[in-house]
Structures are given as structure tokens and as C-alpha cells.
Structure 1
Amino acid sequence: MIIYYSGMRYKDKNKNEAIFQATIQLLNEIGFSEISMSKIAKRAQVSPGTIYVYFENKEDMLRKLFLNVEQKISSSMFQGLHHPLPVKARFELVMSNFIEFTINHKDEFLFFEQFCNSPLIDNVYPVDSNSMFEPLYKLIEEGKEQKLLKDYDTMLLLVLIYAPVTELAKQYFREEFEFNDKNVKDLIQASWDAIRA
């Protein structure tokens, strides 16, 4: 898809994705402090000026990249989620989807973790991004209302289920842990046990 604007300049969706992928790869290799628009352009095989067709500056690009990756995570997590399912079944589906995305999208996962632990996160939250995970917040609240889950602060419950997945994913990428069927099932059950009433 090509979008025309301001004369002859245009935005190509494939080129935009190439810039995003190049940025993710570089950030995972060299970190935020060493990255530059020229390095990104070289990796994406575009001219440095081309990047400014898509983004105002580096901060704008990183913000949009984070939101892009977050949207991918969100879409994956809630795939197949239907309200008629019981709370626990929906929880298990969301967790299974999240684990699957994490282990199959290493670059995006590592970028997401790095970004969340950088000062740049303050330029994104809470304005743009909280709504992407609203179905999970609502699921937790529903579980608390039904007395299925501990009556703790929702953010505390989310940390209890999110942190084990991310830590085990890092071990998986270092080949120190295996996400086989049993381990995935056990992880999901342990996460449920950590937050159930």
C-alpha cells in the first residue's frame, strides 16, 4: 500500500516495516545509546532522508515502533478470546497466546523488554498504550468480582503472571529452559495459582 502526500513524496508500508525491523535488530545488538538514524537507514537499506518521510525524529520513530510491537503482542494475546468462556479458560488462552508470541518473536520481545526498562517509556504511557491490554485488565477484574482471584490491586496480579513468563523466556533464549508442552502447562497453572483466591 502506498500513501501519497505533499507532492511526490510517499509512504510505502513495506519500507516502514523494513525500518522497524532494522531498528529492532540494531537495538537488540547495540542498545539505545549507540543507535542512530544513519545506522538504521544502512541496515534497512534506505537513505537516511527516507526515514524522515516516515518519522519526525528518532524519538518519534522509537515511540511508534514500541506501539507497533505492543499492538502485535496485544493482537496475539487476545486471539480467539470470547467472553462466554469461563474466566479460567480465558486466562489460560491469553497466557498460552502470550507465551507463544514471546518464544516465536524473540527480536520483538527483547526490544519490548528493553524499551519498557528505558526512560523512553515515560513518553508513551499512559496516553497511547494502556487500552491495548484492556481485555486482560477486564478479565482480572471479572475474576476478582467472581471471587476467583485474590482481591489484590490489579497491577500486582498482572506482575505475578507477567514476570515469570518474561524471565523464563530470557532463559529459553539462552538455552537454559525449554518451553515444552508440560512446562507451558505448568507455567500457566502456576500463574493461575499465584493469583487465584
Structure 2
Amino acid sequence: MRTKDDSKKEAIFEAIIDLLNEIGFSEISMSKIGKRAGVSSSTLYVYFENKEDMLKKVYLEIKGKLRNTMMHGITDDIPMEHIVERLVRNVLIFVLEYRRYYLFLEQFANSPLVGLCEDDAMEMFRPLRAVFEKGIQQGIFKPVPSSLLITYCYKPVGAVGKTLTEKKALPEKLIKQIIQMSWDAIKA
């Protein structure tokens, strides 16, 4: 059995992200990924069972990076308005610093493969949902599913960040306006 090499795995990971963002799901193949990563396509099977397994694992890894970024500095003992502010800022950080990852997540979310790992992805965000559910119970947030509230803090902010053509800081005044709009969308 061949051993796994972390540098090869990282090259494969990056090749998958770049290729998917460049050519999309319909055109991506194991041979193209291998060529981009500088490994034989048979090497991919050392790390993944098949193409579906590979894309799922990459998606979940990036989704984990998103969760870690979104949750940074968020605890259930700070005021809900500060949680929303932190969440919005964290989403902007993710979209601006990890633009390729964000674009990959968007493509994956619009593919049939998303159903294969929906439960795993939902489980990752359980702590964030719990914080929002607490806000619902306290009457601070609208009485709707917590996932909907999180979506209203994530998707519009991601769309704003995506419109920027390069990684750059947004003016603080604009960030505060975005935070306020997110807060207004979800507060009770």
C-alpha cells in the first residue's frame, strides 16, 4: 500500500479548488486534477475512493475552515448584537482572504453533490446554531429557524465580498452599514 504524503495531498487539494473554480463540475476529471497537482491520476486514489469522495472531502474541509473563521471570537456569553457584528466581520474576512475557497463553496452548494454531505456540514455549524437559537428563545431574534438567521448574516455579506475584485479592506463605515443591515434583517 502506498503511503500518503502531506505535500501531495495539499497539491491535490489546491488543484481541485483551482480547477473547479476555473472549469466547473462538469469538466473536472481525475486526470486533470492529477496533471494540475503534478501527480499521476492513480495517486489520487491513495487519498480518495473516487471523484465523489474527493469532492465531498474537499468541501467538508473548506466548510470547516469557514466554520472556524465564522466562529472566531463568538461565544454565547456576549450580547447577541456583538455576535452578529463578529459574524459579519468574520464572513468578510473569509470571503476576502479565502476567495478561492468561497467560490468553491458556492459552486458546490449549487451542485447535486451538496446533498451527499449536507448532514456533515450542518453538524459542523451546530455551535453557531445553538447561539442563534438562544437569541430566538430570548426574543432577540425573529422566531424563524436559526439556519435562516445565519443565512441572512452570511449570504448577503458573502455576496458583497465577492463583488470586490481583489483582496482589500473595506472602509469601516461600509462594514458598519453591512453589520447594521444584517442586524436589522434578523432582530425581532
TM-score (ref. length: structure 2): 0.93
Relative to structure 1, the CA distance from residue 137 to residue 149 in structure 2 (aligned partners, 3 Å threshold; closer, same or farther) is same
Identity %: 45
The alignment status of 1:64 with 2:51, answered yes or no, reads: no
2:176 equivalent among 167, 178, 185: 185
RMSD of aligned residue pairs (Cα, Å): 1.8
CA drift at 1:29 = 0.5
The 5-angstrom pairing of residues 1-197 of structure 1 reads 6=1, 9-126=2-119, 128-173=120-165, 179-197=170-188
CA distance in 2, matches of 1:21, 1:55: 15
CA distance in 2, matches of 1:12, 1:180: 42
Indicate the structure with greater helix content. 2
CA distance in 2, matches of 1:81, 1:166: 18
Letter in 2 for 1:193: D
Task: Count the aligned residue pairs.
Answer: 188
CA distance in 2, matches of 1:92, 1:141: 17
After superposing on structure 2, the runs of 4+ consecutive aligned residues of structure 1 that deviate more than 4 Å are none
Which 5+ residue runs of structure 2 have no aligned equivalent? none
The structure, 1 or 2, with the larger RCO (C-alpha pairs under 8 Å, 6+ apart) is 2
Letter in 2 for 1:164: P
Letter in 2 for 1:131: E
CA drift at 1:174 = 8.0
CA contact (8 A) 2:96 2:161 kept: yes
Q: Please state whether the residue corresponding to 1:173 is helix, strand or coil.
A: coil
TM-score (ref. length: structure 1): 0.89
